[in-house]
Amino acid sequence: MRIKVNFSKNTSDVPNNNNVVLEYIHRCLGRDNEYHDKISAYNISHLYGGEINSHDPKSLNYPNGGYIIVSSMDNTFMGKILVGLLNNPIMSHGMKFRNYDHMNEEFMNGWNHFSVLSPFIIKEIYGKNNYGFLTLDGEYKRVEEKWVVEKKENYDFENVVKEHLINKLKKINPSLDLSGFNVKIDELDRSGVRHNKHKVKKVYVNNILNFANQCQLSIQCNRKVAELLYNIGIGQSTGAGFGTVYKTENHCDYRNNYVKIETEKTRIMSEVG
C-alpha cells in the first residue's frame, strides 16, 4: 500500500534536511512505537514540492504545499500512520496535513522500470564508526576526516545493488522466488536519450553526511518481488527518507508540486474505522 500525504504551504522557512519528516512520522506513530530503530518494513520519502530559498540555500519554501510518500505491505503500520495524521494535523513550519491520495501502480513478471524519487544509500561497514558508501561514482571513504571517492578497476555498481537487494529480500522472506533476479542501471531512457540526472547526492540526516544515489534502474523479477521492493524501498535507511522508487511510466504523479484539495479527511475515518 502506498499513499501520498499532502500538506499546505509553509509559513516559515523549512530546513533542507529530512529531520522535519522523521520527527513528524515518529509523532504520528506515537511515543515508544514498535517501529523505531528497527529494520524498516516500510518506506518514507523526503518532503517534496519545495524550492530552494534564494536568501538561504539551506532552507526550502513550499508555496503550493508539499508531500511525502509512505509505503508498506504492513496494513497495521499504515493504519497507525493514517490515525496519526488525523491526530497530528500540524507537521512543522506552518505546514498542515490536508489529505492523502492512494497511489496505484502495476507490476509485472520480467523487467520493471523504476525511477528513484528519494536517493538510496548502500553502506559498507568495516567496524565501529568506520564505514563507506557504495555509489554510482565508486566508494566514498573517510580518510583523515575527509571523504574521498575510490573506484577500483573491477567496481560494478549494478552488481553491488543486485547483491544488496537479494540479501535484503532473503532476510525479509526466505521463500521468495528470486530466480533470474537482475538489476540494470538505465543509461538511456526509452526514447534513447541519455539520462542527465544520474548523480551522487549529499544528504544530511541529524547532521550526518550520507552519499546517496539518484538514478533510474530496471529490475528483473516476478510481480510479487517488484511490488515488495516498491513498498519497502531500495537500499538502507528506507524508513528515514531514503530509497523511494516509482514506476517510470507514472512520473507525472510524483513530480506534481501542487497539493490536491478534493480529498476529504472523512475518507481516513472510514478506512481506519
The three state secondary structure string of 116-146 is: ECCCEECEEEEECCEEEEECCCCEEEEECCE
Q: How much is the pLDDT for 244? A: 97
Task: Give the pLDDT band (50/70/90) at residue 135.
Answer: very high
Gap between the Cα atoms of 4 and 161, Å rounded: 26
Mean pLDDT of 113-125: 96
Mean pLDDT of 55-77: 94
**Ranked by mean pLDDT, which of 6-10, 26-30, 195-199, 247-251 comes out on top?**
6-10
Task: Give the pLDDT band (50/70/90) at residue 254.
Answer: confident
Count of C-beta atoms within a 10 Å radius of residue 99: 19
Q: How much is the pLDDT for 35? A: 67
Gap between the Cα atoms of 200 and 210, Å rounded: 10
Share of the chain above pLDDT 70, in %: 86
Q: How much is the pLDDT for 271? A: 46
Count of C-beta atoms within a 10 Å radius of residue 63: 12
92 pLDDT higher than 60: yes
Q: What is the mean pLDDT of the chain?
A: 88
* Residue 79 Cα to chain centre, angstroms: 20
CB 231 within 8 A of CB 77: no
Share of the chain above pLDDT 90, in %: 75
CB 27 within 8 A of CB 84: yes
Condensed to tens digits (0 to 9), the pLDDT of residues 23-61 reads: 999 999 987 667 655 566 899 999 999 999 999 988 999
Q: How much is the pLDDT for 37? A: 54
Sequence-distant (≥ 6) Cβ neighbours of residue 49 within 8 angstroms: 62, 64, 65, 66, 67, 257, 258, 259
Of 189 and 91, the structure prediction assigns the larger pLDDT to 91
